[in-house]
C-alpha cells in the first residue's frame, strides 16, 4: 500500500515538471459582471518540480498579449527552478486560454476575472491551496497586484514588476488609443486585423523612451522597421483578443475591487511584497505602484535606464538579483 501511495505521489509531483503547455478546463466560469464563459480553458506551463508539501509554487501570469511560452525565459532567469515550481499561466483573453479568438460570445473580462480563473485552476484542477509567491511583468504585474487584493491570505510573497494597482490617466490614453485604432477600421475581420499596423506604431512608440529609439536606431531605417513591425503585429495578434485584454486593463483598480482605500490597504494586504518599477516607463506609469509601495512601507526597486517599459530586459541582471534575494 505504501508503494502505491508513493507511486501516486511521485506521478503527481512530476506532472508539474513539463515543458509543454497544458490546457485545463475549469468549467463554466462566471465573470465579475455576471457573464458566463462556457467550459472555460486556462493554459499553463511549468518549470521546476513541485515538492511533497506543495509549498514551493510560484505563479507567474502572462503580460499583455503574451503567452506562457513568451515568459519562460524570464522565469528561468530570475527564479531558481531547482528550488521552486513555477506555474506560468496564460491570462484569459490571450488566445491560449479562453479568448475571443477561440470562444464564441466571449464576454468582457477584468483583471479580477483573470485572477479568479487562475485561482480556480490552482484550487480545483491542481489542488494547490497556497502559493509561495505570485509575480508577473506588465499586465502580469497588474494581475499580481490584483492577486494580493483578491486573495490576501493565498500567497506568502508577491512581486509586481512594471505593473500598476490602478491605471493612470496616461495609461488610459494609451490603451484607449490602441482600442480606437481597431474600432475605426470597421467591423470587417480583415480590416480589423490590418488595423493592427496602426496599433503597432502606437504600441512601439510607448515601449521604449525617445532616447532609446534615437540611440539604437537610424532614422533612415524607420520606415522599413515600421513596415516590418506592422507585418509582425498583423500576423501575430488577434485584434479581438487585443481589445479584450485592453478592456480588462482599463478597469484595473485594486482599491475599487477590494473596497479599500490607499490608507486602508496596508492593514488588508498580507503578502510580503517587492515592487519593481521602471522610472521612465511610458507604457505603464510607475506612479501608482510607487505610491502603493510607500503606503505599505515595502521595498521598491527602480529600473532607471532609458529602455522604458522594456527595462526588465535591459536591466535583467538587476531584476534577477532583487527577485532571487527576495524569494
- Given this model, what pLDDT does residue 12 score? 43
Whether 23 and 126 share a structural domain: yes
Whether 141 and 38 share a structural domain: yes
Contacts 24+ apart (CB under 8 A), 78-81: 78/316, 78/319, 78/320, 78/323, 78/324, 79/47, 79/48, 79/135, 79/323, 79/324, 79/327, 80/324, 80/327, 81/47, 81/48
Residue 52 falls inside a structural domain: yes
Mean pLDDT of 187-211: 98
- Given this model, what pLDDT does residue 19 score? 74
Please indicate whether residue 138 is annotated as part of the active site: yes
235 or 18: which leads in pLDDT: 235
Q: State the residue range of the domain holding 68.
A: 2-168+260-326
Residue 253 falls inside a structural domain: no
Domain final position from 180, 212, 247: 247
Q: Is residue 277 predicted with pLDDT exceeding 90?
A: yes
Sheet strands side by side (includes 131-137): 22-30, 36-47, 85-89, 57-61, 131-137, 155-161, 272-278, 299-303
CATH number at residue 69: 3.40.50.1820
- Given this model, what pLDDT does residue 222 score? 96
Whether 162 and 222 share a structural domain: no
Distance CA 327, CA 316 (A): 16
Whether 149 and 61 share a structural domain: yes
- Given this model, what pLDDT does residue 41 score? 98
Residue 252 falls inside a structural domain: no
Of 90, 113, 281, 306, the active-site residue reads 281
Whether 68 and 174 share a structural domain: no
Of 203, 206, 238, 309, the active-site residue reads 309
- Given this model, what pLDDT does residue 110 score? 98
Residue 220 falls inside a structural domain: yes
Whether 19 and 95 share a structural domain: yes
3-class DSSP state of 275:
strand
Residue 73 falls inside a structural domain: yes
Inter-residue contact 48 to 72 (CB < 8 Å): no
- Given this model, what pLDDT does residue 161 score? 98
Residue 254 falls inside a structural domain: no
Of 68, 74, 98, 138, the active-site residue reads 138
Whether 80 and 53 share a structural domain: yes
Whether 157 and 302 share a structural domain: yes
Q: Is residue 4 predicted with pLDDT exceeding 60?
A: no
Whole-prediction pTM: 0.94
Number of domains in the chain: 2
- Given this model, what pLDDT does residue 6 score? 36
CA angle 253, 193, 310 (to 5 degrees): 50
Query: How high is the mean pLDDT of the chain?
Result: 95
- Given this model, what pLDDT does residue 25 score? 98
- Given this model, what pLDDT does residue 17 score? 56
Domain final position from 186, 216, 247: 247
pLDDT category of residue 259 using cuts at 50, 70 and 90 = very high
- Given this model, what pLDDT does residue 11 score? 37
The per-residue pLDDT for range 45-81, each reduced to its tens digit, is 999 999 999 999 999 999 999 999 999 999 999 999 9
85 or 2: which leads in pLDDT: 85
Please indicate whether residue 309 is annotated as part of the active site: yes
Whether 162 and 301 share a structural domain: yes
Whether 141 and 23 share a structural domain: yes
The per-residue pLDDT for range 8-47, each reduced to its tens digit, is 333 344 445 567 999 999 999 999 999 999 999 999 999 9
Whether 60 and 159 share a structural domain: yes
At 30, list the grid cell: 462566471
Taking CA atoms, 265 is separated from 140, 146, 188, 273, 306, in Å, by 20, 12, 45, 13, 32
DSSP assignment of 34-97, as one string?
Answer: S-EEEEEEEEEEEES---TTS--EEEEE--TT--TTTSHHHHHHHS-TTT-EEEEEPPTTSSSS
Residue 162 falls inside a structural domain: yes
The per-residue pLDDT for range 243-254, each reduced to its tens digit, is 999 999 999 999
Domain final position from 219, 247, 275: 247
Whether 126 and 20 share a structural domain: yes
Please indicate whether residue 203 is annotated as part of the active site: no
At 296, list the grid cell: 505599505
Residue 153 falls inside a structural domain: yes
The per-residue pLDDT for range 98-132, each reduced to its tens digit, is 999 999 999 999 999 999 999 999 999 999 999 99
Specify the DSSP class assigned to residue 166. B
Amino acid at each position: 500500500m505504501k508503494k502505491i501511495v508513493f507511486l501516486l505521489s511521485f506521478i503527481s509531483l512530476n506532472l508539474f515538471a513539463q515543458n509543454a503547455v497544458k490546457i485545463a478546463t475549469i468549467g463554466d466560469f462566471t465573470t465579475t459582471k455576471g457573464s458566463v464563459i462556457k467550459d472555460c480553458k486556462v493554459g499553463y506551463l511549468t518549470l521546476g518540480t513541485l515538492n511533497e508539501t506543495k509549498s514551493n509554487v510560484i505563479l507567474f501570469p502572462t503580460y499583455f498579449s503574451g503567452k506562457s511560452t513568451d515568459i519562460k525565459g524570464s522565469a528561468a532567469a530570475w527564479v531558481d527552478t531547482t528550488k521552486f515550481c513555477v506555474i506560468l499561466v496564460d491570462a484569459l483573453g490571450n488566445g491560449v486560454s479562453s479568448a475571443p479568438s477561440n470562444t464564441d460570445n466571449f464576454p468582457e473580462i477584468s483583471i479580477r476575472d483573470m485572477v479568479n480563473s487562475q485561482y480556480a485552476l490552482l484550487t480545483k484542477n491542481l489542488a494547490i491551496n497556497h502559493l509561495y509567491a505570485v509575480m508577473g511583468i506588465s499586465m502580469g504585474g497588474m494581475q499580481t497586484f490584483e492577486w494580493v487584493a483578491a486573495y490576501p491570505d493565498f500567497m506568502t510573497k508577491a512581486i509586481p514588476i512594471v505593473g500598476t494597482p490602478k491605471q493612470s490617466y496616461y495609461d488610459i490614453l494609451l490603451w484607449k488609443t490602441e482600442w480606437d485604432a481597431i474600432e475605426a477600421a470597421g467591423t470587417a475581420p480583415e480590416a480589423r486585423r490590418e488595423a493592427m499596423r496602426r496599433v503597432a506604431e502606437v504600441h512601439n512608440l510607448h515601449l521604449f523612451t525617445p532616447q532609446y529609439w534615437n540611440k539604437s536606431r537610424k532614422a533612415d531605417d524607420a520606415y522599413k522597421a515600421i513596415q516590418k513591425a506592422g507585418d509582425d503585429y498583423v500576423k501575430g495578434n488577434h485584434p479581438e483578443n487585443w481589445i479584450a485584454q485592453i478592456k480588462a486593463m482599463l478597469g484595473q483598480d485594486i482599491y475599487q475591487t477590494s473596497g479599500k482605500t490607499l490608507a486602508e490597504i496596508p492593514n488588508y494586504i498580507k503578502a510580503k511584497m517587492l515592487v519593481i518599477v521602471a522610472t521612465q516607463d511610458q507604457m505603464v506609469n510607475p506612479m501608482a505602484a510607487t505610491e502603493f509601495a510607500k503606503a505599505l512601507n515595502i521595498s521598491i526597486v527602480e529600473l532607471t535606464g532609458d529602455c522604458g517599459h522594456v527595462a526588465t530586459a535591459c536591466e535583467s541582471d538587476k531584476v534577477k538579483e532583487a527577485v532571487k534575494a527576495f524569494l
